A = this chain, B = another copy of it.
Amino acid sequence: MRFISESSSRGVREQLFDLGGVPGVLWTPEGPAGPRPLIVMGHGGGRHKKDPDIEGLARRLAAECGCAVVAVDVPGHGDRPVDEEFDRIATGNRARVEAGEDLAQLIAEFQALVARRTVPEWRSVVDAVQRLAHVGAGPVGYWGISLGCGLGVPFVAAEPRVRAAVLGLGGASASAGDAARITVPVEFLLQWDDERVPRAAALALFDALGSAEKTLHANPGKHAEVPAVELDSTVRFFARHLD
């Protein structure tokens, strides 16, 4: 784990790092050493580890809950090079959608493919970050919607250190099997007028989650229009489950 830069603002330290070619960012509250809760955040499609939505919520979780928060670029995103395999598939998918194939199904299959790479990457990130004195081996949470849900479901299913997750804006097409293996508390966000994820597929993914404690929060609006009040709910959810 190689640290590239460090800065600090309003009580939260930000460190950019590289872990075996995976660029990442770690936010931690200034103050005593760990162990403290660690939340892994998965960014959306076409976004990156320091997307304003990611950074804004990460800084709140650090400042208000005392959590460490880590996010890394997904292959082909942010500071990572173009991934030729994924790029070729994405180009092919655009042609298949134009030829009438189901977009949601293609997205789900693509995310399942990417997850085979990101799940081990993210597990290594948790290993490395929890070895830092200012993080330590506390409880782990996961937050990811849209692409962050498609990649997050297999990650949460595979990683026993994760104790609670916020997921959403994703469908059951490819990940229902992984979802059934998730048993930790989940808060699941659904946009009622989502133009990218069919409502029935999103409800089916919530239904498929194996967790005894799970809650669906559905709000009107399109894919990118999750209301701000859900951020408050997310902060409370992690405070409740990672304390």
Contact = CB atoms under 8 A, between A and B. Distances in A.
A161 interface: no
Contacts of A192: 207, 216
16 contacts: A190-B216, A192-B216, A203-B203, A206-B218, A212-B220, A213-B220, A214-B220, A215-B217, A215-B218, A215-B219, A215-B227, A215-B229, A216-B217, A216-B218, A217-B217, A233-B233
A3 to B, nearest CB: 39
A215 B218 CA distance: 6
Nearest to A211: B220
Interface of A: 190, 192, 203, 206-207, 212-220, 227, 229, 233, 240
A214 B229 CA distance: 11
**Could you tell me the dominant secondary structure of chain A's interface residues?**
mixed
Contacts of A206: 218
Nearest to A219: B215
A165 to B, nearest CB: 15
A221 to B, nearest CB: 9
Q: A-B pairs with the 5 shortest C-beta distances?
A: A216-B218, A215-B219, A217-B217, A214-B220, A215-B217
